Structure 1
């Protein structure tokens, strides 16, 4: 960190062989780079200055296991869930995919009052999904989702075509932008006002090396900019040029930044706390330094996910390691992190009808 950073922490000598929870947390650099403290424009549901919204995910099974292991811990401020634009599944009722993982937005509404939902809409270039969305082929699904969202009566952060620039999604910018705008216009026409629209970059080498700006639908259509953080955090707090580009773009367009997906993909070992220094310290220090306004952490066993391209990802459940989990909660239980609360919606600027 340079001397221009605003420091809210102090150095402490640590026993590297037998670190306490306090020792582990003290390694997090809580400096905020003034460069990332800027005014936001044309956005919604942004935490107050000095606050970060805490979200956890990402399947019904992951969330249930998390709650079972950490009953004494505060409920996060929100939960993440997924669905796909071609069909209205996993929203109003549970849907289990071929891997055995389930999604259920409505369960999150019913079981967790005073929390938000971070909703990920799957939309890719393959199978002409994005093209069909832009042509209105899935309008009936969007209308059903709009009706559900209005009935939820809570802030919803909708990631339209999440990781739009990821090579794995094969999204052509023109088709993506057209589909994104069509979806937002339709939801607005349906009277949806409790959804913040999130433009989520993979923050890695982009599909066909298109420039980031090629996928941008415009300030009027974007409330938040988001990134994914997986392997990024293993090399320190410099997450690379592609991540830097997204953060600079967000600042130029006066948008808050969310880490929409994050996980230590090399796993959380049951018998070693090494992942804390190797990933968590960097990840959490980055969130302070870059003034990240929301983080979504995925606690899951990636080796059982059966997702193309991640065959080497490992078991990253927090409950694998009690000491790492204690350090995580020692940090995230700070007042900085917005969690479930009767005043959460007010803090986010949402007035429940």
Structure 2
């Protein structure tokens, strides 16, 4: 059936008129919906305002027999924990301030991952000397792996690894900077199977050897898992004594989900530190359920509690592990997820706005002086 040209033109004019009438309100409605959606996501300022910055006066006390403690109202900021994750961090945040220190790990049976690179069975690399070479005016946060399994702690207590400790002492002295050494970190964690008696004996021997070799730039950190302990031993049974401990450390992983109250086991460690006049550091921390790319829920679920805890409990040093846990072959953490800050731009921006505050000590020519480390 033939359709005349004028009829088609009339229909086109009609449809055009309808579109011109209805399209602007539709576009405006879509734009408003988008803006309304964006406005429901809090601003960075609002995210930071959720942090409780009040300090519990109960945790402001005098420190005894310790070293390299930040001044009142200050917290040393440390990041970690492998060559790969540190390099990746620098690539993603090239213009951010460098933290006051970096973390590295090694095992007491062998002098590896200290003076040169060493790739371990998790597929990651450790290199203490890299931290010294790359980052002047920063501290080294050194974690010594020592467990009860395979009689590692027993051998250490008998002196089987004294040669390794002496090499470490020589290297530590050569760095001429503060080193925070965590001897047998997470000593009370069930995964380490450390018996208190063998742990204390090994810890004391290690400290005695390091002191005898003149490694005076090492602060000794007694690092608790701050969770249900191995065989329900009392915390005090693992304690080497005030003369052997400069700092008390805790781990913060699942602890921070839910509230700034990290539970009775953590409270027990904090109170023990207070009773013995030792400063507390968060020696390891990470939001192990992951940082989502699409939302910022983890900020209120974990980061707000984490930072509130730092303020409330007067934490003097904090080490954050910027890691994709799913890439690591570590038994027992298969359910842990990607917790790297750059997974979510808004989370990372809030992180840096908080840690850029003067409270957090970062790399600077004045850092060592602030920590009471003598210039040589």
Corresponding position of 1:189: 212
Corresponding position of 1:121: 144
Given candidates 111, 115, 135, the residue that maps to 1:88 is 111
Per-residue deviation, residues 56-93 of structure 1 (Å, max 9, x unmatched) = 00101000001110111100000000000000000000
Q: Structure 1 regions of 5+ residues with no counterpart?
A: 1-14
Could you tell me whether the CA contact under 8 Å between 1:225 and 1:256 is conserved in 2? yes
Please give the secondary structure, in 2, of the residue aligned with 1:48: coil
Could you tell me whether the CA contact under 8 Å between 2:116 and 2:129 is conserved in 1? yes
CA distance 1:22–1:184, change in 2 (3 Å): same
Distance 1:139 1:261 in 2: 27
Given candidates 247, 258, 272, the residue that maps to 1:224 is 247
Corresponding position of 1:339: 362
Distance 1:197 1:62 in 2: 25
Distance 2:45 2:365 in 1: 29
Could you tell me whether the CA contact under 8 Å between 2:121 and 2:329 is conserved in 1? no
Q: Does 1:254 align with 2:254?
A: no
Given candidates 196, 200, 206, the residue that maps to 2:229 is 206
Corresponding position of 2:177: 154
Per-residue deviation, residues 165-187 of structure 1 (Å, max 9, x unmatched) = 00000000000000000000000
Structure 1 residue 99: Cα displacement: 2.8
Per-residue deviation, residues 21-56 of structure 1 (Å, max 9, x unmatched) = 111111110000000000000000000000000000
- Structure 1 segments of 4 or more deviating over 4 A? none
Given candidates 66, 71, 81, the residue that maps to 1:43 is 66
Q: TM-score, length-normalised on structure 1?
A: 0.95
Structure 1 residue 118: Cα displacement: 0.5
Given candidates 283, 293, 305, the residue that maps to 2:306 is 283
How many residues of Structure 1 are paired with residues of Structure 2 in the alignment? 339
More helix by share: 2
Larger Rg: 2
Q: Structure 2 regions of 5+ residues with no counterpart?
A: 1-37
Per-residue deviation, residues 196-232 of structure 1 (Å, max 9, x unmatched) = 0000000000000000000000000000000000000
Please give the secondary structure, in 1, of the residue aligned with 2:71: coil
Corresponding position of 1:11: none
Per-residue deviation, residues 127-148 of structure 1 (Å, max 9, x unmatched) = 0000000000000000000000
Corresponding position of 2:85: 62
Per-residue deviation, residues 235-277 of structure 1 (Å, max 9, x unmatched) = 2011000000000000000000000000000000111100000
Distance 1:125 1:285 in 2: 34
Could you tell me whether the CA contact under 8 Å between 1:226 and 1:257 is conserved in 2? yes
Q: TM-score, length-normalised on structure 2?
A: 0.89
Distance 2:76 2:216 in 1: 20
Distance 1:177 1:17 in 2: 53
Please give the secondary structure, in 1, of the residue aligned with 2:67: coil
Could you tell me whether the CA contact under 8 Å between 1:81 and 1:105 is conserved in 2? yes
Corresponding position of 1:34: 57
Could you tell me whether the CA contact under 8 Å between 2:290 and 2:339 is conserved in 1? yes
Corresponding position of 1:78: 101
Corresponding position of 1:108: 131
Distance 2:109 2:121 in 1: 17
Corresponding position of 1:7: none
Distance 1:339 1:108 in 2: 14
Distance 1:247 1:16 in 2: 40
Please give the secondary structure, in 2, of the residue aligned with 1:118: strand
Distance 2:309 2:101 in 1: 21
Q: Does 1:327 align with 2:350?
A: yes
Structure 1 residue 20: Cα displacement: 1.0
Structure 1 residue 16: Cα displacement: 8.0
Please give the secondary structure, in 2, of the residue aligned with 1:319: helix
Q: Does 1:269 align with 2:292?
A: yes
Distance 1:340 1:168 in 2: 34
